[in-house]
């Protein structure tokens, strides 16, 4: 069947659903095509919920700052959903001299770019978070970082976009993207030909496949992310925590559960990813090593997601020169959620050929 629409968005994660929201708001006829039955079922609803500027690469920091200053504070109101955004800071912890060197470097790089971030002693860190172990020797502290609920944000964008008239097609996988008259014109699925003027690919790891027809080969791989959820406990601390040694990260969600993550290695390639219990043991060890009281807190659930890793650990957010009208946003490498709302906003301008409020040249597809 031939279906006419202004703009096709491939993938319904935070970027796809978010861009659909911005474009529908501006009056465009948008169709989002999702290969799965459920909306946003990839990394957008399977992540630790960090909204962080600290520790970003120099190129990515401006997007994170834009997200924290311009988008996150007003997002709940705009979507009509409680995003559980909590801007109470990020402590990145260190227990060894080597850890402190890593943290000093993060602080220095952030300061050079004008980010409000400082280095704390162990005691200063314990003043902010009295639950920290005496083993913590120091921490980086960025008071404007925070966390939010990825499930509420991603599905919130989807429901808002839908209410503004964006169409969402589930259970349809895009097979190819076609051109006519020198620009993008067709998006083919098994049963349908979507005839359109603009296309955004925001399909995570699967984005790579769609670009190969145009001889564009993005250096992407997949990694498995493991997360554990604890029982609900009384409010303990509002900060997002991470470590220089990357042995755990996490925060307490609004409902009282703690969400703690770690990584588990390269994906086997199968879609049904499962946590390997042994890795969550390591995450528990990590947590208890910095927060001794957690010995007695129970784990009620674990879950897993895959993240799309770009070769240089930075996303591709770019128009595709040889296919005018085609834009891609993918490869967020496990730190896409916090900047997701900003990317959705920026890319919605890029898709329709409007200038973006930040320079995104560093994220071009042809940098490799």
Partner 1 sequence: MNERNKDLGLYVPCEDDQEVICLCEGVTKGEIREKVNQGLMTMKEVRKFLRTGMGPCQGKRCRPKVKVIIEEILGKPAADVEDELIRPSIKAEKMSNIIQAKVVGNLDH
Tell me the per-residue interface mask from 27 to 66 with partner 1, x by CB under 8 A, - otherwise: ----------xxx-x---xx--------------------
In the bound complex, what is the minimum distance in angstroms from residue 159's beta carbon to partner 1?
A: 5
Q: Which is nearer to partner 1, 255 or 355 (CB)?
A: 255
Q: Does 234 bind partner 1 (CB under 8 A)?
A: no
Among 128, 179, 233, 299, binds partner 1 (CB under 8 A): 299
Task: Quote the least distance from Cβ 294 to partner 1, whole Å.
Answer: 5
Coil, strand, or helix at residue 105? helix
Q: Which of 77, 134, 190, 272 binds partner 1 (CB under 8 A)?
A: 272
Residue with tokens 């409010």: 235
The answer to whether residue 4 forms part of the interface with partner 1 (CB under 8 A) is no
Q: Please tell me the distance from the alpha carbon of residue 297 to that of residue 233, in angstroms, as a whole number.
A: 8
Looking at residues 174 to 233 of the shown chain, list those that interact with partner 1 (rule: CB under 8 A): 228, 231
Among residues 65, 90, 144, 273, which is the contact residue for partner 1, using CB under 8 A?
273
- Angle between helices 340-351 and 150-163 in degrees, nearest 10: 30
Q: What whole-number distance in Å separates Cα of residue 295 and Cα of residue 233?
A: 13
Among 35, 57, 87, 162, interactor with partner 1 by CB under 8 A: 162
Residues sharing a CB contact under 8 Å with residue 216, sequence separation 6 or more, in sequence order: 320, 365, 366
Query: Whole-angstrom Cα distance, residue 174 to residue 3?
Result: 14
One symbol per residue from 66 to 105: x for binding partner 1 (CB under 8 A), - otherwise; what is it? ----------------------------------------
Number of amino acids touching partner 1 (CB under 8 A): 46
**With binding defined as CB under 8 A, does residue 171 bind partner 1?**
yes
Q: In terms of CB distance, is 181 or 255 closer to partner 1?
A: 255
Q: How far is CA 286 from the centre of its chain?
A: 23
Among residues 55 and 262, whose Cβ is nearest to partner 1? 262
Which of 112, 134, 140 shows the shortest CA–CA distance to 293?
A: 134
Token pair recorded at residue 179: 């051109």
Cα of first residue to Cα of last residue in the chain, in angstroms, is: 38
Tell me whether residue 77 or residue 255 sits nearer to partner 1 (CB atom). Answer: 255
Distance in Å, CB of 67 to partner 1, minimum: 22
Q: Cβ(161)–Cβ(24) under 8 Å?
A: yes
Site stretch for partner 1 (CB under 8 A), options 138-146, 202-210, 215-223, 268-276? 268-276
**14 lines the binding site for partner 1 (CB under 8 A):** no
User: How is residue 210 written in tokens?
Assistant: 């769609």
Contact 55, 259 (CB under 8 A): no
Does position 243 interact with partner 1 (CB under 8 A)? The reply is no
Q: Give the tokens for residue 167.
A: 């169409």
With CB under 8 A as the contact rule, the residue among 159, 164, 179, 223 that binds partner 1 is 159
CB atoms within 10 A of CB 28: 19
Contacting partner 1 (CB under 8 A), which of 276, 352, 358, 362?
Answer: 276
* Residues ≥6 apart with Cβ < 8 Å to 73: 85, 87
At its nearest, how many Å lie between partner 1 and the CB of residue 82? 11
Please name which of 363, 276, 329 lies closest in space to residue 13, comparing C-alpha atoms.
329
Instruction: Indicate whether 267 belongs to the interface with partner 1 (CB under 8 A).
Output: no
| Residue 90 near residue 115, CB atoms below 8 Å | no
- Can you read off the two tokens belonging to residue 158? 């989807």
Q: Which residues bind partner 1 (CB under 8 A)?
A: 37-39, 41, 45-46, 151-152, 155, 158-159, 162-163, 167-171, 228, 231, 255, 272-278, 280-281, 284-285, 287-288, 294-305
């Amino acid at each position: 069947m031939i279906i006419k629409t202004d703009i096709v968005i491939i993938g319904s994660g935070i970027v796809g659903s978010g861009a659909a929201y911005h474009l529908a708001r501006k009056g465009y006829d948008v169709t989002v095509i999702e290969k799965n039955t459920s909306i946003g079922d990839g990394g957008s609803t399977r992540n630790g919920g960090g909204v962080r500027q600290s520790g970003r690469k120099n190129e990515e920091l401006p997007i994170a700052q834009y997200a924290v200053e311009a988008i996150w504070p007003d997002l709940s109101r705009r979507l009509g959903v409680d995003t559980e955004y909590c801007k109470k800071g990020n402590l990145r912890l260190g227990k060894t001299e080597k850890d402190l060197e890593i943290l000093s470097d993060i602080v220095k790089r952030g300061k050079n770019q004008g980010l409000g971030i400082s280095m704390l002693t162990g005691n200063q860190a314990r003043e902010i978070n009295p639950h920290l172990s005496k083993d913590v020797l120091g921490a980086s502290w960025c008071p404007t970082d925070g966390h939010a609920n990825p499930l509420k944000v991603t599905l919130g964008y989807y429901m808002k976009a839908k209410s503004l008239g964006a169409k969402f097609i589930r259970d349809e996988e895009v097979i190819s993207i076609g051109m006519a008259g020198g620009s993008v014109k067709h998006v083919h699925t098994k049963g349908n030909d979507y005839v359109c003027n603009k296309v955004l690919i925001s399909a995570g790891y699967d984005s790579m496949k769609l670009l190969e027809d145009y001889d564009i080969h993005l250096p992407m791989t997949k990694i498995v992310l493991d997360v554990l959820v604890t029982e609900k406990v009384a409010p303990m601390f509002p900060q997002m925590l991470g470590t220089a040694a990357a042995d755990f990260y996490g925060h307490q969600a609004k409902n009282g559960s703690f969400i703690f993550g770690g990584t588990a290695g390269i994906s086997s390639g199968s879609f049904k990813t499962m946590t390997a219990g042994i890795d969550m043991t390591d995450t528990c060890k990590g947590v208890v090593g910095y927060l001794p009281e957690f010995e007695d807190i129970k784990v009620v659930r674990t879950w897993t997601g895959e993240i799309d890793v770009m070769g240089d650990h930075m996303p591709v957010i770019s128009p595709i020169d040889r296919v005018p009208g085609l834009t891609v946003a993918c490869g967020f490498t496990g730190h896409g959620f916090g900047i997701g709302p900003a990317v959705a906003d920026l890319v919605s301008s890029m898709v329709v050929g409007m200038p973006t409020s930040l320079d995104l040249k560093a994220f071009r597809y042809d940098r490799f």
